[in-house]
Amino acid sequence: MSKFRNWLEKWFGIPAEENDANNSPIKTSSASGQLNKFHILRVQPTPNPNAFQFVINALIIESGSKTFSNADEAIGDPLTEALFQIYGVESIYLNENFITITKSETIGWHTIFDKIGEIIEKKIHFYNSIDEKKIAQNKPETILDKFHKEDFSNCDVKEKVLIIEAVLDQAIRPALANDGGGVEVLGIEGNIINVHYQGACGTCPSSTTGTLSYIETFLKDSLHRDLTVVAK
């Protein structure tokens, strides 16, 4: 079997759960000889050709998500510090049981896949808390239960953001997470909602066209017809 086919089967062709536990090509041992708690089950593409999702065998974050947009933001975190040392890695997004790596267009995946996989399995750890820049939410489902569409324009800015966050949590973010990405609400100015894409969504061409249009249409229908969504 060729080296290239070996590489394809290692990352895409053989789900880890179908392999013998002792022969899985992506399980590693620590320096002490103990099997690591976390390992990569599979790697899957996203709609963004420059982003891939590394699916882990267990939850890696307690709640929410983490985004590292550059090496400076990764200082102090062993996993992401090491990943940013790989030439071409541009951003790292962690959510539930996956890590989305976004690379530069000038670098081929075949040159960095193995390095990324080795670092993830060696450095991965459990994240206890979120650090996304979000306004604290107290039971967003209660907000939606009490919310009436015709009242949206009379809400103050803080209330509007809480309602928007709740709608995104319920209807938009789960779908984006399946593609290895997410969306953060930066704020609302008048009828303009400013958002920031995370993970695979960050540089995906469809994020600035189809996805953005869908989010805007959904929020118009759910909250107010004059709303506009702008990606920053």
CATH of residue 181: 3.30.300.130
pTM (two decimals): 0.56
Residue at 37 is within a domain: yes
Specify the higher pLDDT residue, 107 or 32.
107
Residues 114 and 175 in one domain: no
* Residue-wise pLDDT tens digits, 141-171: 568 888 888 899 999 999 999 999 999 988 8
Residues 9 and 89 in one domain: yes
| Residue 125 pLDDT grade (very low, low, confident, very high; cuts 50, 70, 90) | very high
| Residue 172 pLDDT grade (very low, low, confident, very high; cuts 50, 70, 90) | confident
Residue at 209 is within a domain: yes
Q: Give the per-residue pLDDT at 130.
A: 55
Structural domain range at position 91: 3-123
Residue at 157 is within a domain: yes
Q: Tally the domains of the chain.
A: 2
Counting runs of H as helices and runs of E as strands, what totals does the chain give? 7, 8
Residues 18 and 117 in one domain: yes
Average confidence (pLDDT) over 102-106: 92
Partners of 22 in the β-ladder = none
pLDDT higher than 50, residue 139: no
Residues 107 and 51 in one domain: yes
* Chain centre to alpha carbon of residue 224: 28
Place of tokens 């779908």: 175
Q: Give the per-residue pLDDT at 157.
A: 95
Residue at 191 is within a domain: yes
Residues 32 and 119 in one domain: yes
Residue at 135 is within a domain: no
With a CB cutoff of 8 Å and minimum separation 6, the contacts of 223 are 149, 152, 163, 164, 167
